[in-house]
Amino acid sequence: MSAFKIGYFADGPWSHKAFELLIQDKDIEICFIVPRTDTIDDTLENFADKYGIDYLHPVKVNSEEFIEKAKTYNCDLFVSMSFNQIFRERLINLPKYSTINCHAGKLPFYRGRNILNWVLINDEKKFGITVHFVDEGIDTGDIILQKTYSITDEDTYGTLLEVAYDECAKLLYNAIKQIQDGSFKRIKQNTIHPVGFYCGSRTVGDEIIEWKSTSREIFNFVRALSSPGPLATTYIDNTPVKINRVRLIKEAPKYINIPGQILSKTENGFLVKTKDSFVEILDIDTEAKIRVGARFEND
């Protein structure tokens, strides 16, 4: 039996771990790798050199030139893992079994970008990973496999990333094997929910803390942007203060005062007033002098 031939559109640690699973399977052949055009991924390029795989870069995936090139590989399946170009219908349907994508979100919810940040901001107790067929919408294709993972108050953006790197690779590999052996099933997203929802990409400025938020909201916001993210940021005397960790004080009573005011110094940081109570800010990076009675501002 001939090997199952795939074209791999990929970027970053998610794709590296999946590649390591795929390359060990003698019944799968990776015919080519297409990385993102706006980043440099030395790991993928080294994989291509090591295993004699065509490394196609830079590429406009919907161009006539690339489509004609892709035809020559006669792939059974195209696989997208953390790739950032939109696939059009002609490219999607070029392989025998179409094109699939792995998305770190529980579709049809959390379509779009920066999902691991948004699930923490939204105080979710679980996050999902979904492997789905690609269509011309954004994360709207039929689901092949989906799995959910618990989120606790000990989790941060970094811990969710580590889970997602490993689990995306495993789920993607399992989906490819199901397509290869014909055991896969399609689940229409509208059978789960008729609408679902999208998340927009986060950009410069979105890291600013709004102190008029509740203590729980600020706790979630800070851990959602914690390392290796951009870090939640506030200002004092026009100097940025980057915060990597906040302790939620569950016994803190609710009362009215001025959000953003620094209430007290602690052994490890400072107590800061929020909308409803107060939190302890920890792991701070700033050149500013933080003093009790001063107020954190948005800029």
Q: What is the mean pLDDT, run by run of 10 residues, along the chain of 299 residues?
A: 93 96 97 94 97 96 97 98 95 98 98 97 98 96 98 98 97 98 97 97 96 98 98 96 97 96 97 98 95 93
80 & 155 share domain = yes
Give the span between the Cα atoms of 93 and 88, in whole angstroms: 9
* 16 is a domain residue: yes
Give the span between the Cα atoms of 158 and 227, in whole angstroms: 6
Give the CATH number of the domain where residue 192 resides.
3.40.50.170
Examine the fold and report which residue of 149, 167, 199 is the final residue of a domain before the chain moves on. 199
- Residue 49: Cβ-neighbour burial (10 angstroms; 0-12, 13-18, 19+): exposed
155 & 24 share domain = yes
Contacts of 266 (CB under 8 A, 6+ apart): 280
Q: Which of 84, 81, 80, 77 is CA-nearest to residue 14?
A: 81
142 & 38 share domain = yes
For the segment 233-254, what is each residue's pLDDT rounded down to a tens digit? Answer: 999 999 999 999 999 999 999 9
Residue 95 corresponds to which amino acid? P
Contacts of 217 (CB under 8 A, 6+ apart): 123, 274, 275
220 & 176 share domain = no
Please give the pLDDT value at position 1. Answer: 64
114 & 247 share domain = no
* 163 is a domain residue: yes
Examine the fold and report which residue of 199, 230, 249 is the final residue of a domain before the chain moves on. 199
Sheet (strand 77-81) strand order: 54-55, 28-35, 4-10, 77-81, 99-103, 126-133, 143-150
Q: How many domains does the chain have?
A: 2
* 91 is a domain residue: yes
Rounded (5°) CA angle 149-152-156:
90
* 298 is a domain residue: no
For the segment 97-123, what is each residue's pLDDT rounded down to a tens digit? Answer: 999 999 999 999 999 999 999 999 999
**Percentage of the chain exceeding pLDDT 70:** 100
Q: Can you give the residue range of the structural domain that contains 154?
A: 4-199
The two three-digit tokens of residue 25, written as one number? 């399977």
Examine the fold and report which residue of 154, 169, 199 is the final residue of a domain before the chain moves on. 199
236 & 192 share domain = no
Question: Up-side HSE of residue 154: CA atoms within 13 Å toward CB?
Answer: 1
* 293 is a domain residue: no
145 & 47 share domain = yes
Please, what sign has the CA dihedral across residues 113, 116, 120, 126?
positive
54 & 144 share domain = yes
180 & 147 share domain = yes
DSSP-assigned states of every residue in 146-190: EEEEE--TT--HHHHHHHHHHHHHHHHHHHHHHHHHT----B-GG
Please give the pLDDT value at position 298. Answer: 86
For the segment 171-210, what is each residue's pLDDT rounded down to a tens digit? Answer: 999 999 999 999 999 999 999 999 999 999 999 999 999 9
